[in-house]
A and B are shown apart, each in its own frame.
Chain A
Amino acid sequence: MYWGAMLRLEKLTKVYRTGDRALDAVDLEVPNGQVVALIGPSGAGKSTLIRCINRLVEPSSGKVFIGDEEITSLGAGALRRARRRMGMIFQEYALVERLTVMENVLSGRLGYVGFWRSFFRKYPQSDVDEAFRLLDRVGLVEMADKRADELSGGQRQRVGIARALIQNPALLLVDEPTASLDPKTSRQIMRLICELCEERGLAAIINIHDVALAQMFVQRVIGLNKGAIAFDGAPDSMTEDTLTMIYGEEDWKATIAKVEDEAA
């Protein structure tokens, strides 16, 4: 069953128990293969939005569709099956620190193998082959047997990417992938994610703080402010006014100019 990777949100709303309205009736469509950057100030609801899609955070109301399947109405078992097709990449990597790189990558297959097979690490040979292929693709094949906490930040995020991709996802949910990385590594990680999306025709939503970095790599930028969409358009259509609309008043000249320099 391959449902075309098209994501649709209908009036998606999340109100936390504290009364915080993190998402306010968000409508959004992401077509097959499109990479979208989600920008906005801290607390705008970016993290909540991507967590509502795979229901790590339960939405208060509204609907989430992946293709024709309505995620928001699924029972526990069907939700787990649906999650297999949504790879997630995290801020600060969220690897299982005390497991090896290989175990971390293979953990992306947990939704496909039974408990005892996963408990005794007896994954099907095809999964192991795919894990080696992905580790090779992200340039970590010789690290397979290292423990995750021995790796550098950039390397850990590459393992996180491999873990998400081995799920054979149709959609990538990416939460601040570069938040704790240096500028060079940030660019490499963003480039890797976007290349892989193109190779595999994946749609992706990338939460990101670095506006300039987002503009360099994605096809579409969505600005979120106080739980509502404040901007939706191509990266090069962003102006100082758009940034003011999304983030509030500030001198944005340098941010935009920097992008033009790098684009040149």
Chain B
Amino acid sequence: MPVSTLTDGRKAWQLRDRKAQLTRWFAYFAAVAVFMWCWKKISDSTTWFFVWDAPRIASDIGSRAFPPRWSYMEKLWEPLWDTLNMATLGTLLALVFAVPIAFLAARNTTPSAVFVRPVALLIIVSSRSINSLIWALLLVAIIGPGVLAGLLAIALRSIGFCAKLLYEAIEEIDHKQVEAVTATGANPLQVMAYGIVPQIMPAFAGVAVFRWDINIRESTVLGLVGAGGIGVQMQASLNTLAWPQVALILLVILLAVIVSEWVSAKVRGAII
């Protein structure tokens, strides 16, 4: 008890009593011990020669990469366009599936909490648990290399993300507005269109733009496994040790991400 009685009968108060305090100190001690042990493990399995050598190698690669090979840009426009398309169309495709799944998964709109909701949640979890790079690996094996595989990988990964955030938004709506629309004699579809959809529009717009922004970044690496986009050029340049080309590609990706950040901030500001 943090409250105790002093000898003169007054009450004393402290945040924790002695037992709680000792438990806390022991927990800190254990945490530090585990951290030290892990540090030792990692240190033992590291070839420290390479680490000490790292600055020299890095500056070597840096000097080879500079200046970027600007003329290579003419070969990057098309893959860059592909990358943007993969991200944008993948996001749109994901939203088409995510919206109905979100309505099936939200507690207050699902037709059946026992049968339908678990299926919807399973779809969300399986989509989210697999990284888009892994989806891309699988899809390149199934439908062959190219932009389509990348687009589908982006879409499959995004369905779960968008559906999860949307169904959370649906569960947080103000129920009174739904009640009011129901009381007019509206049918269930009308209740959805008037009572629920206006309430989740800001969340929908926010989720769509946020995911698009993430997908721009993700689609730049999908080419590494053959799923199209600027990552294919990246892979080729790395394999041939063409460092000036790698530098240019990194610059282009950086610019694309900055532009997408700017666009999504603008769109979010306009809607909310």
Contact = CB atoms under 8 A, between A and B. Distances in A.
Nearest to B180: A94
A81 B184 CA distance: 9
Given A95-B177, A99-B194, A118-B194, A56 B185 contact: no
Interface stretch (B23-31, B195-203, B237-245, B249-257): B195-203
A112 B185 CA distance: 8
A173 B182 CA distance: 14
A88 B183 contact: yes
Interface string B45-89: 000000000000000000000000000000000000000000000
A109 B187 CA distance: 11
Q: How large is the interface on A (under 10, 10 to 19, 20 to 34, 35 or more residues)?
A: 20 to 34
B227 to A, nearest CB: 38
Nearest to B183: A88
A167 interface: yes
Contacts of A107: 181, 184, 186, 194
Contact of A96 (B185, B187, B198, B202): B198
Given A94-B176, A99-B198, A163 B193 contact: no
B195 A96 contact: yes
Contact of B194 (A54, A82, A110, A173): A110
Contact of A110 (B181, B198, B199, B202): B181
A98 B195 CA distance: 10
Contacts of A111: 184-186
Interface string A70-98: 00000000001111101010101011111
B185 A94 contact: no
Contacts of A2: none
Contacts of B193: 115, 118-119
Contacts of A109: 184
A109 B193 CA distance: 14
Contact of A108 (B176, B184, B201): B184
Contacts of A108: 184
Q: How large is the interface on B (under 10, 10 to 19, 20 to 34, 35 or more residues)?
A: 20 to 34
B177 A118 contact: no
B114 interface: no
Contact of A167 (B177, B185, B195): B185
B190 interface: yes
Contacts of A88: 180, 183-184
Interface string A147-184: 00000000000001001000100000100000000000
A227 B198 CA distance: 36
Contacts of B179: 56, 90, 94
Interface in B134-173: none
A96 B194 contact: yes
A112 B193 CA distance: 15
A177 to B, nearest CB: 13
A81 B187 CA distance: 10
B189 interface: yes
A112 B183 CA distance: 13
Interface of B: 174, 176-177, 179-187, 189-190, 193-195, 198-199, 201-202
Given A95-B180, A163-B184, 18 more contacts: A56-B179, A56-B182, A80-B185, A80-B187, A82-B185, A83-B185, A88-B184, A96-B177, A96-B194, A97-B199, A99-B194, A107-B184, A107-B194, A109-B184, A110-B184, A111-B184, A115-B193, A173-B183
14 contacts: A54-B183, A56-B183, A80-B186, A83-B184, A88-B183, A95-B180, A96-B177, A96-B181, A96-B198, A99-B194, A107-B181, A108-B184, A115-B187, A167-B185
